[in-house]
Amino acid sequence: MTHQTVYVVDFGGQYTQLIVRRVREFGVYSEMIPWTEAASRIQAHRPSAVILSGGPRSVLEAGAPTIDMDVLKGIPILGICYGQQLMALLLGGRVEKASLKEYGHRTLVPNPEVPSSLIAGMANDQVWMSHGDQVLSAPPGFVVSASTDSCPIAAFENPSANQFGVQFHPEVTHTPDGKTVLKGFLFDHAKLKADWTSESFIDEQVDSIRQTVGAGKVLCAVSGGVDSSVMAALLIKAIGERAVCVFVDHGLLRLHEADQVKETFLDHFHANLKVFDAQEQFFGALAGVTEPERKRKIIGENFVKVFEDHASELKECDFLAQGTLYPDVIESGSPTAAKIKTHHNVGGLPDWMTMKLIEPLRWLFKDEVREVGRRLGLPEEMVEREPFPGPGLGVRILGEVTRERVRMTQESDWIFRSELKERGLNKGIWQSYAGLLDVKTVGVMGDERTYEQPVVLRAVQSEDAMTARAVNIPFEVLEAIASRIVNEVHGVNRVFYDLTSKPPATIELE
């Protein structure tokens, strides 16, 4: 890539990824690198600026994570929390264990004698602190630019050497105007250009895909989800019909989603889309099966079988596209690791599918993927689609998965989600769906008793799916939705709303 790059050196801080995202939000390309690889990567690539992250250790401990300041010579540096303390220590200042750990909001007081461009422009004096050590004396050449009542050196700087440090966390939203600090560093001091945009990403990736693929073909499985849709749209832009897009229609998507995939890729993008209608196969294989893990396994195996059955058409592909995102790259530990993502729901891939991998989204965070999708002209419903499990409605229908039970689930789900959307209540929801329970309940309709199935509605807020809370939907809205579902969805006579958080529950039903 030809961008100016900011390396964020990770010392194990909980907010390191967030620093990378903030920098990118300013239109500056940024990557996270582990401290153990910092020296070699900085020497090899000479980034335009370096940010040293926070971290859980003490710089005073033997063997604490560190960095070779010599390799940073001439590169603008911003140290945050542990990063600031490390700069202090390595550049000749002093660090001590604070008498009390400081955690939470503090009021930042700028030093009136040192008008710092990073601090002076802050429109809000609240900052977020989370540290045990603190800087006792700034290194030679540095001035103290701000303090708090409990932290005498909350910010220091040596502007002529382009070196800055802050004890607080400008990257978190708890520091309401932290962006002024980051912006001042990136633009006023490191003199960066904002050249990282979705257009520039698309242009570069199109070039790079064309170079890598040459005259070859790329197999791209499309699931209807955001990542695979954006990846397919990008490949189509780069290599047209040599992007062989495959959509396995297993019948377990939400209402209208399969049609939308077909319409978008066939009508709008004129893609080389192969739709494998495997509904019979999936419903056949799932008939009579109620045990959750077996259902998952059957769904995974049948995906593989569909690809096996069409092997002759697909074997001509030289590459397999995979929707790896930047957080996966970071988690896999190495920026060059290209492992096939193994989902617990996919039972491996056929041998012939272990072709060369290409991962055109591996530099992007999810919100950047969405932005690229918009630029490429994908419909908003696709770009904003919620996370959806690989086994689809299979994990939202308790008990046997039949066409009839899928219909009830799809129709109830459609009513629930359209009602939320119409009322503007869908914003901020991580996932929302209707699932089907595996019991029958009694009801009365007209003069007759009914003995039918209940649906459960689930809507959760979450940051990362690791924890989640039920969304507080107004009672009247739930009541209106329940009434519509029992009146309009044949076979459903009762509606529950799931109030459980995760943990102890999970987001999906099984």
Task: Tell me which residues touch ligand XMP (CB under 6 A).
Answer: 296, 343-345, 387, 389-391, 395, 431, 465, 502, 506-508
Cis peptide before 503 (omega within 30 of 0): yes
Asked about 171 being catalytic, the answer comes back as yes
Choice among 31, 102, 157, 171 that is catalytic: 171
The separation between CA 339 and the C-alpha centre of its own chain, rounded to angstroms, equals 18
Nearer Cβ to ligand XMP (200/345): 345
Nearer Cβ to ligand XMP (161/465): 465
Q: How many CA atoms lie within 13 A of 90 on its CB side?
A: 21
How far, in Å, CA of 367 to CA of 113, rounded?
A: 41
Identify any residues that bridge with 166 across adjacent strands, giving them in sequence order: 80, 155
Nearer Cβ to ligand XMP (343/490): 343
Nearer Cβ to ligand XMP (335/390): 390
Q: What crossing angle do the helices spanning 292-309 and 279-286 adopt, rounded to 10°?
A: 150
Residues 6 or more apart whose CB falls under 8 angstroms from that of 83 comprise 9, 11, 51, 52, 53, 54, 55, 165
CB of 296 to ligand XMP, least distance (A): 6
Choice among 31, 81, 245, 257 that is catalytic: 81
CB of 462 to ligand XMP, least distance (A): 8
CB of 254 to ligand XMP, least distance (A): 12
Asked about 81 being catalytic, the answer comes back as yes
HEC profile of 264-314:
HHHHHCCCEEEEEECHHHHHHHHCCCCCHHHHHHHHHHHHHHHHHHCHHHH
Asked about 151 being catalytic, the answer comes back as no
Residues 6 or more apart whose CB falls under 8 angstroms from that of 173 comprise none
CB of 224 to ligand XMP, least distance (A): 12
Nearer Cβ to ligand XMP (37/438): 438
Nearest one of 26, 125, 40, 140 to 93, comparing CA atoms: 140
Q: How many CA atoms lie within 13 A of 4 on its CB side?
A: 18
What radius of gyration do the chain's Cα atoms show?
27
Strands 143-147 and 109-110: antiparallel
Q: How many CB atoms lie within 10 A of CB 454?
A: 20
How far, in Å, CA of 340 to CA of 357, rounded?
A: 8
Q: Which amino acid is at 150?
A: S
Choice among 31, 102, 157, 169 that is catalytic: 169
CB of 200 to ligand XMP, least distance (A): 31
CB of 280 to ligand XMP, least distance (A): 23
How far, in Å, CA of 372 to CA of 363, rounded?
A: 12
What 8-state DSSP symbol labels residue 387? P
Q: Which amino acid is at 285?
A: A
CB of 510 to ligand XMP, least distance (A): 8
CB of 189 to ligand XMP, least distance (A): 40
- With beta carbons less than 8 A apart as the criterion, state whether 473 and 459 touch: yes
Nearer Cβ to ligand XMP (159/323): 323
Nearer Cβ to ligand XMP (23/252): 252
Nearer Cβ to ligand XMP (55/389): 389
Q: Which residues are catalytic?
A: 81, 169, 171
